Amino acid sequence: MSATNCLRCLGRPAVAGASRGVIVPVFAPRTAPFSTTAVQNAMPGKPQKSMEHQDRSVRVYRAGKKMKIKKKGNLDRGKPPAPGERKAFRKKIVLSNDNALPVPWVTEMVAGSLSDRKQVGTIVSLPPVLQDQLRATEAFQPTQTWGLFRKPSTLIRQESVDLIGKMEKAVENKETARIVLTGEKISGKSTMLLQAQSHAYLNNWIVIHFPDAQELINGSTEYAPIPNTENPTLYMQQNYCLKLLQSIKKANEKIFAKLLSVSSHSELPQNITVNQPLLSLINAAKEAEGAWPVFQALWSELNAQGANRPPILLSMDNLPHIMKISEYRSASFDKIHAHDLALVKLFTDALGGNARFPSGGAVIAATNRNNGPRIPSMELALKQRLAVQNGDSEGMPVKDPYFKGYDERVEKVLKTVEVMEVNRIGKKEARGLMEYWAASGLLRTTVDEQAVSEKWTLGGGGVLGEMERAALLTMKI
Amino acid sequence: MPPRLNLTSAFRALSLRASTTPAAGTSQPLFLQQSQKVAAPAARRFYSGDNLTPDSQLPQSEQLPPSSSSSSSSSLSPEQFDNAAQQSVRQQQQRQDNVNALNRLEMVAYGLNPFDAKEEGHKYGLPSLPLPSELHKDHRYDDVMGQITRLLMKDGKLSKAQRDMAMILNYLRTSPPPKLNPLRPLIPGSPAPHFLPLDPVTYLRVAIDSVAPLVKIRGFRGMAGGGRSLEVPAPLAARQRRRTAFMWILDAVQKRKSKGSGRKMFPTRVAEEIVAVVEGRSNVWEKRAQVHKLGTAARANLMNPQIKNFL
C-alpha cells in the first residue's frame, strides 16, 4: 500500500503528480471502443438543461418524457429462499412429536414381530437404528402421519403378517418371492413396503429400495447409452445410480463390512481384489462417472453363488411408472421404453423371475393409485393373476380385442408374479389403532364400539389412510 | 288412526335380547346400557377436570391396550365353559322375555305405547334429546372453528379451507408449548401453556380471543365541524370481535414470507402467526392497542348531542 503523504517532504500533493509534471493516467471507465453506454453511465452529474427550456418565451414541447406510475404494494426486499429450500420444506420428514404422550403398551419391533400372527392388531414402534436405515432408503413419506406421534410406530395388519410369511417361506426354500402389492388409494401399500423393509433389516437381509419409480423415467436424471449393447440399446443413469449406491451403503453398512468379494474387479476406478469387504467396493463409486460399473459389480457380487450371501430384498414403490414409455429419447430421437433403462431392467428381470438370489429373498413392488399412470396391460395382468390365485378360471378377465394400447413387455414381466391386495382393515385392527391414537392424546374421544364403528365407516369401511384423515386430519378434535 | 300395536316388531324385539346379562327386570333402553359400558379410555380426556393428571388416568394394566384387558379368563375348561354359558344365557333370556312381556302388558293397561322407538330396533340406541350441538350438521364444529374456516376460504372452496384448518391444528399440536410474554397477557381463564398443544382448538381460540378488540371506531361524516368526521367508539359483538382479530392475523400472514412450497405452506404460515400471537411477538397486539387507545380518546364524543339520534 502506498502512503498518501510524500515521505520525503511531508507535504501532501494537491493533485497527485500534477506538480511534478508526471503524466497521470485518467481513470476513465474502460469499455469496448464501439460502445459508449458504460461511459455515459459513469458520467457524474445530471445532463445539462438546454437553454431553450429556460427561456419561457419559447414554447417547448416536452418530448420523450413518459408518465410514470409508481407501483404500489410492498416491495419484497428480503432474501429469497435458498435453492432447494422450498422443496426441502415440502419433503421434510418429521418422525416424532414431543407433545404426544408415550403409549405404555407399545413395544419395540424385533426380528420376529412382524411374522407373529398373535400380534395382529397391535402397534409396534421402530427402533432408532431401524429408523436411520429406513430414512436412508427414503421409506418414510411426507404425506404419512409419522410426525404426530411420540415415536414412529406401525400397525401390524393381517396382510403384513401374510406378506412377511411369504418372504420367510421363500428364504427357507432359497427361492425368490415376487410380489406386487395393489389396493386402493391410501390403503397402506407404501407402509406395507416399509414393514417388509423393516423385517428385512431386522433379520440382516440386504435391502435395495427404489423409493419412487417416477424418478427413473421422467427425464430428471442424466442418462447415457451403455457401450456394446445392441438390440435393444440399454441406458445407464449414473447420477441416480450413485445416489442409490450411497443409500444402499448407508442402510446396509454393517452387513457390507462383513461380506467379502469373491472375484476381482479390475475395470473399476479403484481396483478391487478378491476377499475385500464389499463396503470398499461401494466406496469405489465416488463420482457419477463410475457409478454404473460399480453397481454392476456389486450386483454380481451379491448374486455370487456359493459365497454364503444373506437374503436380498429388492423393492420399488410406484410401480406403474416403469411400465410405460419413458421420457427419454435415443440418439435417433425415438422414445425409449422404460424397460430399456438398465436399472429398471434389473428390477423387472428380478420381478419377472429371471434373477435368482443365492440365499433367496424377495422382490416386492407397490402400485400407486393417486399419481400413477393407467397401464392397461398391468391392470389386466394383475387382475388375471388374482383370478388365477383365487382359482377363478371362469371370471378370468380377457384382453379387449379392439384396444391397441397393450404392452407385451409389461405382460411378460407380470406373467408369474404373485398379487397381494392391501385391503381395508377390520374393526379389531381399527380398534387397536384408535386406542393408540387416543392414548397418544391425539384422538380426544372415548374409544368404544360406537366410536370405532364411526371412524371405520367414515374411512370408507376401513381404508386406513381415510380413517387417519377422518380422525387425525380434521377440524373436530 | 290405526293402532300402533304391531306384533312382528314385538317378536323381533324379544329375539334381540340375548347379548349381555343385565340384572333381570331392568327395562332400560339400549342406549342407556351402552353408555354404561363406557370403559377405561373414557378417562383419556386427561385435562377435562383440573385435578386429573395424565398419569392417574392410565388403565391399571399398563402394558396392555384397553381392548385386550377386558377379556377375563376363567378356570373352567373351554367346553364346560361353553355349555354353562349357553345354558345360563338361555335361562336368562327366558326370564328376561317374560319380564319384558309383562312390562309391556302393564304399559298397554296404562294406555301407553309399549313399542316406543326409543327402546326398540336401534343398534346403538337413540341419542338423548335435545341433541348436543355437535350432532347437528350445521354446528358440527366448534363455533370459532366454523367462523374462522370460512374466513380462510378463498373462491368459495370450503373443503380446501377445512383441510387448511386441519393442517393448522396439526401444526399447533406438534409445535412446542408457547413461551408466554407477561407483557401480553392472554385472555383470563386460558389454560396453562403446556396444555395448549394437545388441545389445538383451544389454542386457536385463546389466540384469537386474546387479541380481539373490544370496540371499533365509527366515523360520523362532517359532524366534528370543518368537514371532519366525528369518531365514536362502538362496542363489538363476540363474532365481530373474532372476525376483526382473525382478519388482522390474516393480514400479518400475508406479509409473512413463504419459505417453502406445497399445500402445507399457507397453513404453516397461519399457524406460525398464531403461535406468535400467543407468545406476544405478533404485531396484531399493536393494532389492538391502537384501536383501544383511539376508542378511549374518542369516548367523550359519545356525549355529542348530534349523534344521539344515531346511537
Pick B37's closest partner by Cβ from A122, A439, A448.
Answer: A448
In the predicted model, what is the mean pLDDT of residues A214-224? 95
**Residues A412, A352: contact at Cβ < 8 Å?**
yes
DSSP 8-state code for residue A288: G
Give the cell for residue A16. Answer: 497527485
In the predicted model, what is the mean pLDDT of residues B81-89? 78
| Rg of chain A over all Cα atoms, to the nearest angstrom | 33
- From chain B, pick out residues whose CB is under 8 angstroms from the CB of A447: 41, 44, 66
pLDDT bracket for residue A434 (50, 70, 90): very high
In the predicted model, what is the mean pLDDT of residues B287-302? 95
Give the closest-approach CA distance of A154 to chain B in angstroms: 15
List all residues 6 or more positions away from A348 whose beta carbon is below 8 Å from its beta carbon: A322, A339, A413
Distance of CA A96 to the CA centre of its chain: 21
| Cβ contact, residue pair B260, A81, below 8 Å | yes
- Give, in order, the Cα–Cα distances in Å from A247 to each of A157, A322, A363, A410: 28, 21, 18, 28
Q: How many CA atoms lie within 13 A of A1 on its CB side?
A: 3
- Give, in order, the Cα–Cα distances in Å from A27 to each of A2, A40, A445, B274: 18, 14, 80, 57
**Residues A306, A358: contact at Cβ < 8 Å?**
yes
CB atoms within 10 A of CB B307: 15
Strands, sheet with A153-155, edge to edge from the N-terminal-most edge strand? A107-108, A123-125, A153-155
pLDDT computed for residue B214 by the predictor: 97
Q: Is B137 on the interface with A (CB under 8 A)?
A: no
Tell me which residue of B277, B278, B258 sits closest to B268, measured CA to CA: B258
Give the closest-approach CA distance of B38 to chain A in angstroms: 7
Q: Is the pLDDT of residue A49 over 70?
A: no
- Give, in order, the Cα–Cα distances in Å from A102 to each of A105, A400, B50, B58, B61: 9, 54, 21, 11, 15
Q: Is A452 on the interface with B (CB under 8 A)?
A: no
Q: Is the pLDDT of residue B7 over 50?
A: no
A59 vs A195: which has the higher pLDDT: A195
Helices (H), A368-426: 376-389, 408-413
Of A38-42, A309-313, A392-396, B71-75, which one has max mean pLDDT?
A309-313
For β-strands A206-210 and A312-316, DSSP reports them as: parallel
- d(Cα A138, Cα B298) in Å, to the nearest integer? 62
- From chain B, pick out residues whose CB is under 8 angstroms from the CB of A446: 38-39, 41-42, 44
Q: Is the pLDDT of residue B80 over 90?
A: no
Q: Read off the amino acid at residue A258.
A: K
Q: What percent of chain B has pLDDT over 70?
A: 72
| Cβ contact, residue pair B173, A99, below 8 Å | yes
In the predicted model, what is the mean pLDDT of residues A265-286? 91
Give the closest-approach CA distance of A432 to chain B in angstroms: 7
> Long-range contacts of range A454-462, CB-CB < 8 Å, 24 or more positions apart?
A455/A430, A456/A427, A456/A430, A460/A184, A460/A424, A461/A424, A462/A423, A462/A424, A462/A425, A462/A426, A462/A427, A462/A429, A462/A430
Pick B39's closest partner by Cβ from A100, A442, A448.
Answer: A448
- CB contact residues (below 8 A), chain A span 128-157, against chain B: 147-148
Give the closest-approach CA distance of A146 to chain B in angstroms: 11
DSSP 8-state code for residue B144: H
Q: Is the pLDDT of residue B13 over 80?
A: no
Q: Is B40 on the interface with A (CB under 8 A)?
A: no
Q: What percent of chain A has pLDDT over 90?
A: 75
**Residues A181, A354: contact at Cβ < 8 Å?**
no
| Cβ contact, residue pair B198, A100, below 8 Å | yes
CB atoms within 10 A of CB B106: 12
Q: Which residue has the cell 350445521?
A: B138
pLDDT computed for residue B73 by the predictor: 44
Mutate which of A97, A99, A444 to test chain B, going by most B C-beta atoms within 10 A?
A99
| Cβ contact, residue pair B166, A450, below 8 Å | no
| Cβ contact, residue pair B262, A442, below 8 Å | no
Q: Is B42 on the interface with A (CB under 8 A)?
A: yes
Give the closest-approach CA distance of B123 to chain A in angstroms: 10
- From chain B, pick out residues whose CB is under 8 angstroms from the CB of A94: 174
Q: In sequence order, what are the beta bridge partners of A313?
A: A207, A362
Give the cell for residue B197. Answer: 398443544
Q: Is the pLDDT of residue B2 over 50?
A: no
- From chain A, pick out residues whose CB is under 8 angstroms from the CB of B54: 101, 441
A41 vs A190: which has the higher pLDDT: A190
Give the closest-approach CA distance of A158 to chain B in angstroms: 17
Of A288-297, A400-409, B175-184, B222-231, where does mean pLDDT reach its minimum? B222-231
Q: Is A94 on the interface with B (CB under 8 A)?
A: yes
Q: Which helix (H) or strand (E) holds A215?
A: helix A214-217
Q: Is A105 on the interface with B (CB under 8 A)?
A: yes
Of A17-31, A48-62, A369-383, B110-124, where does mean pLDDT reach its minimum? A17-31
| Rg of chain B over all Cα atoms, to the nearest angstrom | 30
- From chain B, pick out residues whose CB is under 8 angstroms from the CB of A147: 174
- Give, in order, the Cα–Cα distances in Å from B304 to each of A225, B211, B229, B235, B294: 88, 30, 12, 17, 17
| Cβ contact, residue pair A475, B44, below 8 Å | no
In the predicted model, what is the mean pLDDT of residues A207-236? 95
Residue B203: closest C-alpha in chain A: A477
Tell me which residue of B230, B235, B227 sits closest to B305, measured CA to CA: B230
Task: State the burial class of residue B294 (Cβ atoms within 10 Å of its Cβ: 0-12, 13-18, 19+).
Answer: middle
Pick A477's closest partner by Cβ from B38, B58, B169.
Answer: B169
Calculate the average pLDDT of chain B.
79
Q: Is B55 on the interface with A (CB under 8 A)?
A: no
| Omega cis (within 30) before B188 | no
